[in-house]
Amino acid sequence: MLFHHCASEELRRTVLVDLAGQAHRQNRLLAAMPPNTLALLEPDLREVSPEQGAVLLEPGDLIETIYFPLTGLISLMVIGKDGNFIETSTVGREGAVGLHSGLSRRRSFTRATAQIGGKFSTIRAARFEHIVNGSAAIRDVILRYTEVLWAETQQIAACNAMHGASARLCRWLLQSADRIGSNEVPLTQEFLAQMLGARRTTVTLLAQRMQAKGLIRYRRGRIVILDRKGLEACACECYHVMHDEKLPRALGVNL
């Protein structure tokens, strides 16, 4: 009986550890790490669920925590002198925020906000740096991800300069849906307007038209993508260029 108890207890623990590992692997970067490398991080990974709108980092903040979204979405934003801001990147389950602080202590360049609340795996930066020091595999993931993010940032800079609000809104909805793994994007028009650097009326009119064409359904604070192909046809090419599977391949990066 005692034996059975121990065996089942051991089994239970193994299952729990596996389940925890499975949960962390919803994040592409954690999934990209070899199992024995992920095992090094696992004891220090904590799951948190920040609320929608929670500010995780302000520009200049010392990065104390690294965030690996499992669900939800983090926005990186550059803040203007007048307090206005524009989104420069989004990070969902394909990425992480603060990852480069694994190389050494770093400060945030942008504001990072939990734009869509969800579950994030986190690790303290000091602990992460210590583990990275002994792991070439994690350093490699950091470098590969930094390359992809660098390319994406260049594309977004070009997109903001080259493409109109309509094409960028379509691109943004598709990319966000991919990164949260759901066709339901819980965001207000007010927020979308800030992201696009446009007035809310502009987003309302575009969303009305998109709804009339059957591409989306929207109510206050929630947009549902109904016709993905139709939306892709209205998005700028940046959606495909920055696609989370295509961009690493285009760069020859294995992620």
* Site for another protein, rule CB under 8 A: 162-167, 170, 189, 198-202, 204-206, 208-210, 212-213, 215, 234
Q: What share of the chain is helix, strand, coil (3-state, %, to 5)?
A: 50, 20, 30
Least distance between another protein and beta carbon 199 (Å):
5
Instruction: Identify whether the C-beta of residue 231 lies closer than 8 Å to the C-beta of residue 216.
Output: yes
Q: Which is nearer to another protein, 96 or 210 (CB)?
A: 210
Least distance between another protein and beta carbon 210 (Å):
6
Q: Which is nearer to another protein, 35 or 83 (CB)?
A: 83
Name, in order, each residue with C-beta under 8 angstroms of 218's C-beta and a sequence gap of 6 or more: 189, 207, 210, 211, 224
Angle between helices 189-196 and 200-212 (to 10 degrees): 110
Least distance between another protein and beta carbon 174 (Å):
13
Which residue shows structure tokens 């930094």?
146
Q: Which is nearer to another protein, 137 or 167 (CB)?
A: 167
Least distance between another protein and beta carbon 13 (Å):
53
Gap between the Cα atoms of 170 and 215, Å rounded: 10
Amino acid in position 34 = P
Q: Which is nearer to another protein, 28 or 168 (CB)?
A: 168
